[in-house]
Structure 1
Amino acid sequence: MIYAIGDIHGQIDQLENALRLIEIDGGADAHIVFLGDYTDRGPDSRAVVERLMNGVAEGRNWTVLRGNHDRMFCRYLADGTEHDAQIKSGKGWFDPALGGAETLRSYGVEVAGTDTLPSAQAAVPPEHLAFLESRPLWFETDDLIFVHAGIRPNIAMEDQIEDDLIWIRVGFLDHEGPFEKLIVHGHTALDTPTHLGNRVDLDGGAGYGRPLVPAVFDGTICFTLTDQGRVPLLPSA
């Protein structure tokens, strides 16, 4: 069995609930893959990052992947970069749609023009950035490939590029054929986790106030976890 949690986006209470449901189902030593996007939009990115850091430091069987929002956070703190070339609309990290200001607010920093970057660099612990920057981009089992956004079809995993693994939509979401393995991803928010046949999207929109719903995989058979137990997550028609 392997468990997975989609995009958290600063929702620490939702994360704690998801971890509770997983522990009820699989015990304290359950292997959990976190699919990235721990920061932005929600109210407590700092607490989410600390929770994941502490779990890894304690030796929990956790695989913590990196998402595009985590990279934007790190890039801003490194040199003030607010824009990513993958965002075709030109919106910056502080745009309300992306939620960077909420991340800094969780560290006690308000966005205030040119004063923001030095204040943020002083407030955000370097170990938080080091943790996010060191996260792997994908994880693979015999049956599954876990990744934040998706993959470029018909390209070996070792040849995939970072921008695709954390940003891709076009060319992946519309790919109707089989992949080498079932892809488990987040990044593209839906109303609820959804099985699309060749992929499972676990971003149920926690960044927009919807529940964070964990999943468990037995081979390629998928269930979501609720207070009432497992619910089969079947391929949609």
Structure 2
Amino acid sequence: MAEPGIHFLDAQGPEGVRLYAIGDVHGRLDLLAAMHSQIMAEIERDQPFDWRVIHLGDYVDRGPDSKGVIDFLIEARKRDPRHLMLAGNHDIGFLDFLKTPAPDGLFVRFGGIQTAQSYGVAITEGASAWFGKAEAAVRKGHTALVEAVPRSHVAFLRSLPFSLTLGDFFFCHAGIKPGVALERQSMQDLIWIRDVFHNHPGLFPKIIVHGHTPVAEAEVMANRVNVDTLAWQSGILTALVVDGSDKRILTMTGKGA
């Protein structure tokens, strides 16, 4: 028998625990730091019994300071384990490139050049030629990047789980496959899925809080919430805040790309 679904309006967080779920950062350390400052100011002001700050993945690529974002998140988690981070497809793509320098992979084609630059590595020689002619340049850049990326960053990325459940909410990077139990979702779907999830009309066992697919402003649906507002380009980083039955959207605005 299928588990009954829950509507966003009826969903509640864990008793006494305020939740902040932050969308895709993509190298925008400025927005992430500003969002954390606002969150910590609210926590200091309101003194909730407990709290969690959940990051929904895609910390690297496209924006200007992927290295700084990872440094920031490592320090935040070290300072307080209530800062939680999930894996996004770009984070896994970064790990994949460090392992195997594919010239036509996600990292090279979709923002990895900026990630490499944040580590002081230039691999920008003729991006259009990377699909054959410049494989040697990719390998050279890969070697330099492997040397430049701290082991602590690789360990951090490898440590990231793919989902998290708190109260009536299920957090992941991209979404879930309808009809599959939450605990049986595949890693591939959790970090890549789009249309079949977005277009599902029914309720899910939990409200799915995700990013991955950019929207102009937070998308609050009956069965899911999308907080990816294309921060690296728009200059708008978005979070869902859940406090008991109260839900609201928090945005941090900076310069656009």
Give the shorter-chain TM-score range.
0.7 to 0.9
Shift of 1:63: 1.1
Contact 2:218–2:227 at 8 Å: present in 1 too? yes
State the shift of 1:56 in Å.
1.0
* 1:94 maps onto 2:108 in alignment: yes
Verify the 8 A CA contact 2:214 2:228 in the aligned structure 1: yes
Q: What letter is aligned with 2:25?
A: I
Q: Does 1:2 align with 2:27?
A: no
Equivalent position SS for 1:165: helix
Equivalenced residues, count = 218
Moved more, 110-119 or 142-151: 110-119
The amino acid of 1:126's aligned partner reads R
Hey, what does 1:179 align to over in structure 2?
204
Are positions 1:26 and 2:43 aligned together? yes
1:43 corresponds to: 64
Q: 2:77 aligns with which of 40, 56, 67?
A: 56
Which structure 1 residue ranges, 4+ long, deviate > 6 Å from structure 2? none
The 3-state SS of whatever aligns with 2:196 is coil
Q: Secondary structure at the match of 1:214?
A: strand
Instruction: Write out aligned runs for 1:225-236 (5 A).
Output: 225=250
Separation in structure 2 between the aligned mates of residue 205 and residue 45 of structure 1, nearest angstrom: 15
TM-score between the two structures when normalised by the length of structure 1: 0.87
Structure 1 residue 133 displacement after superposition = 1.3
CA shift digits 1:161-205 (9 cap, x unpaired): 111000000210111110111110000001111202210000011
Matched, 1:78 2:94: no
Percent of pairs with identical residues: 39
| Higher RCO (CA 8 Å, separation ≥ 6 residues) | 2
The residue number in structure 1 matching 2:193 is: 168
Please provide the CA RMSD for this pair: 1.7
Query: 1:140-159 counterparts in 2 under 5 A?
Result: 140-159=165-184
SS at 1:30 equivalent: strand
The structure in which a higher percent of residues are helix is 2
Q: Distance in 1 between matches of 2:230 and 2:202?
A: 26
Which sections of structure 1, spanning at least 5 residues, go unmatched?
Answer: 85-91, 228-237
Residue 137 of structure 1 is matched in structure 2 by: 162
Gaps of 5+ in 2: 1-17, 126-136, 253-257
Write out per-residue CA displacement over residues 4-63 of structure 1, whole angstroms, 9 at most, x where no aligned residue. 100000000000111112112223973100000000000000000011011111234111
Matched, 1:16 2:33: yes
Q: Distance in 2 between matches of 1:20 and 1:166?
A: 27
